[in-house]
Amino acid sequence: MATENRIARWKLVLGYGVFSLLAFVLCLFLTFPYDTLRVRAVDAAADAGYALRVGSLRPGLRGLTATQVRLSKVPNGMTPELHSLLASNAKMMPGPEELGEPLTIDSVAVRPALLPPGVAFHASLMGGSISGHVGGLGDVKVAVALNNLDASGGNLKGFSGMDLVGKLNGSLDLVLPKTRGQPDLSLANGQLSLDTRGLIIQGGNVTVPMYGQPTPMDLPKIALGDLDTRIKIDKGLGTIETMQSKSEDLEIQGSGTVKLGQRLDVSQPDMSFKLNAEPDFTKRLGLLGAGLTMLPTDKADPKFRVAHLSGFFNRPTFGPPRGQMR
C-alpha cells in the first residue's frame, strides 16, 4: 500500500508540473506584448527610411515568428503621418507610390541564443533563407548566411528596380568592438563572401555613377554568370582577396579596399576594375556601352578596360583610374 501511495504521489507531482508548464506557455502566448514589439520594429525601420508591414506576429517552432513581412524604401521620405499609419497597422495602407515597392518576406523568426549570448534569427524569402545570430558578452559578433536565394523571387525586381534571375549564396562574419558602448563598424574584423550562379540582369533601371554624376539607366540584358567575391576585413579595412565574374557577355576582375565607416553608406571604396566586354554586348548597352568604350585600356592586357570606384557608397564616383584617360 505504501508503494502504491508513493507512485500515486509521483504521478500527482508530475501532473501538477505539466499543468503548470502548459498554463505558463498559454499565459505567455495570450499576454505577450506582440503589438508593442511590432511597433518597435516599425519605428526602427522608419528611422532608416523604410516602411515595415507585418501580417502576423506569434510564437513558432523557431521562436517568435513574423509572417507576411513587407519592407519597402519610402520614395519621398518618411513623414510623421505615414509613420503613424504604419505603427497603427491600419488595414487600408497607401500604395507603392507612397510606400515604395516592397520586398516580400515569407517569415522571420527570432529566438534567444546561448553561444554566444544574443539573438538568433531565420528568415524565409525568395525561395531560400537568411539565417544567423547577433550577440556577445563584450564585442558584438555578427554571423549571417544567405542560402540559395532566387534572385527572381520576393518582388526583388520592384524593390531594387532590377529584373534578375540566378541563385545567391554568401556569408558574413564580423566582430564589432564597441565605442562609447555602441558597436563600431569602422573597427570591425571578419570576412564577407558572395557567390552567384547563373546571374542575369534581364532589364530594369538603375542609377549609375558615371564620371561623378548619378545617371539613370535603362538596363539591357546582361549576363553576369558566376560571381565569386571574398573580402577580408581587418580593423575596419576590407581588402578584396577575390572578385571575379565571367559570362558570354562580360568578364570582370576587381581589386582594392573598402574603408568602413560607422555606417555602411558612408564607407569609402577604393576599388579598381578590369572589364572585358564582348562587342555585341557593348552595342546593346547603348549609352552605358559608350561610356565603357571611353575607359582606358589596361597596359598589361589591352583586351581589358580599367575603371576606378571611389567616393562614398551613398555618393560614389565611377570612371577612369586617377591620372588616366583614354
pLDDT (tens digit per residue) in 202-248: 988 777 665 556 667 777 888 989 999 999 999 999 999 999 999 99
- Check residue 124 and give its pLDDT: 96
Q: How confident is the model at residue 261 (pLDDT cuts 50, 70, 90)?
A: very high
pTM: 0.79
Residue 319 has pLDDT above 70, yes or no: yes
Pseudo-torsion of CA 89, 95, 98, 99, nearest 10°?
A: 50
- Specify whether the CB–CB gap between 188 and 174 falls below 8 A: yes
Q: DSSP per residue over 66-114, as a string?
A: EEEEEEEE-TT---HHHHHHHHHT-SS---HHHH-PPEEEEEEEEEEET
168-to-151, 173, 268 alpha-carbon distances in Å: 7, 17, 25
**pLDDT category of residue 31 using cuts at 50, 70 and 90:** low
Q: Is the pLDDT of residue 6 over 60?
A: no
Average pLDDT over residues 247-272: 94
Between CA 173 and CA 186 the distance in angstroms is: 15
- In the chain, the amino acid numbered 240 is I
Q: Give 61-118 pLDDT, tens digit per residue.
A: 787 899 999 999 998 888 999 999 999 887 888 889 999 999 999 999 998 887 778 8
Quickly state the pLDDT bin for 287 (edges 50, 70, 90).
confident
- Taking only Cα atoms into account, the Rg of the chain, rounded to an integer number of angstroms, comes to 25
Average pLDDT over residues 13-20: 62
Q: Quickly list DSSP for 6-47.
A: HHHHHHHHHHHHHHHHHHHHHHHHHHS-HHHHHHHHHHHHHH
Contact 247, 227 (CB under 8 A): no
* Residue with the three cell numbers 589591352: 302
Cell of 149: 536565394
